[in-house]
Structure 1
Amino acid sequence: MTDRLGHKQTAAMFALMVLGREVPNPELKELVGFTLTGKERTQLKDAGYITSEKVGRPFVHELTDEGWGWCEKELGEKTPPPPRPQSTLCSVLYLVLSGFDEFRRGRKLRLADVFGAPPQPTEDLETRIRVAYRELVREPRGWVGLVDLRPKLGGAPAAEVDAVLKELSRTGQVHLVPEDNRKALTAADHEAAIRIGGEDNHLLSIEV
């Protein structure tokens, strides 16, 4: 199978690109007026451009990484529309898509960044640190062990947590100190510590 697809296959690829998720045939029919079945479906699947499996009765389709790559190639390089038959609208659409692709490339965006499923909103790491601190602290500006704080941060990488804490410490919003009773420190305490100025710090207090 060549990289140039027929009109219906091209339309299906672009529809899946814009939707950026799994799309069942009934929804595809409702949105663009046709379903992806038969030889046209199997060719796209065999080429590795889509996943296409039955979920219940209808087929459900989604672009693969190779499919996203095909779309990027088709949009770029001043690619002409698929072979005839074609309409003036089809030719103009490709001109518009080519302009969009130049815009995307200029901003170093992937198609999946534009059309993929939007990321779920999450609290930033500083907010999560402050929330976790408030859950653990027993008195205003009290001391909390980093060994207790880190597990409450949703698996945030230690290096990212350290970077945020160091910046907050630099601006005076967080105070970090070593544990005075070194004999009471466990292996977990040592692992959770943050090193600043050549010293391991095990406790923090936050200005709230």
Structure 2
Amino acid sequence: MNDRLTSQDISALFTLMAVAREIDNTELEKVTGIRITGDVRKRLNGLGLVDSTRTGNKPYVHDLTDKGWVRCRYELKAQRPSRPGYYGYAFFAVLNGLDRYLGRERRELADVFQPEAGDDAEGLETQIRLAYRKLAPRPGEPVHLARLRPLLNGAAKDDVDAVLKTLGRQQVVTLTPNPNGKDVTAEDRDAAVRIGGDENHMIAIEES
């Protein structure tokens, strides 16, 4: 890849890969000790590797894009810098080993790095599958998230979004924008899952 990243850029990417979910700077610093700010944020946003949003004066919220996940996989096999220190040598050895495992087992990073699951995560996935089955005329048929969310027994949008993003990375579900932008309603926008700056209004599951 031609885009050169600094050690700070790569650290930010790997940190977001590790938490595997949308997270704001305050929580990110609490969990990992890292904040994504200034030139690092601007550079990663400009390259389309990280999606960062902000409401008012609240901390920036960051999410690793699909392109960012691809870049993380590429960086697993990157040549270690000179004199990285003892932690650095070990870190790059672990990354290279992880890359070999993924290649050998034909797995993706999303199979390894997932959001910390709460007690209800598995149950919420089951609810999503059941709701989809009720709405879809056949497996793989797109269904509006605005129609699916009311069937999830009042589950919080953030919790549902986290599960949907994980299932999307695992290629269990397909999340897409409404192909006809003129048909997008306010309800569609409210129910959408935002990934990489795009609003995804539809969900499809091949086997529900």
Class of the TM-score when normalised by the shorter of the 2 chains: 0.5 to 0.7
1:104 matched residue in structure 2: 102
2:6 matched residue in structure 1: 6
- Shift, 1:94, TM fit: 1.0
2:138 matched residue in structure 1: 158
Measured in 2, the distance between the counterparts of 1:37 and 1:72 equals: 23
Pair 1:122-2:123 in alignment: no
1:80 matched residue in structure 2: 79
Cα displacement string for residues 24-81 of structure 1 (whole angstroms, at most 9, x for unaligned residues): 10112112223111111100000110001113510011111110010010113xx223
- Shift, 1:153, TM fit: 4.0
Q: How does 1:114-193 map to 2 (within 5 A)?
A: 114-117=112-115, 120-122=124-126, 153-156=133-136, 158=138
- What amino acid maps onto 2:29 in structure 1? K
2:49 matched residue in structure 1: 49
Measured in 1, the distance between the counterparts of 2:97 and 2:82 equals: 22
Measured in 1, the distance between the counterparts of 2:107 and 2:6 equals: 27
Measured in 2, the distance between the counterparts of 1:153 and 1:47 equals: 38
- What amino acid maps onto 1:12 in structure 2? A
- Shift, 1:152, TM fit: 9.6
Higher relative contact order (CA 8 A, sep 6+): 2
TM-score, normalising length: structure 1: 0.55
Q: 1:33 to 1:158 in 2, by over 3 A?
A: closer
Secondary structure of 1:5's aligned partner: coil
| Alignment RMSD (CA, Å) | 3.0
Secondary structure of 2:126's aligned partner: coil
Secondary structure of 1:154's aligned partner: helix
1:64 matched residue in structure 2: 65
Q: 1:153 to 1:66 in 2, by over 3 A?
A: closer
- What amino acid maps onto 2:49 in structure 1? Y
Pair 1:29-2:29 in alignment: yes
Measured in 2, the distance between the counterparts of 1:85 and 1:12 equals: 20
- Shift, 1:98, TM fit: 1.0
- Mark the structure with the bigger radius of gyration: 1
How many residues align structurally?
133
2:194 matched residue in structure 1: none
Give the share of equivalent positions with the same residue, in percent. Answer: 34
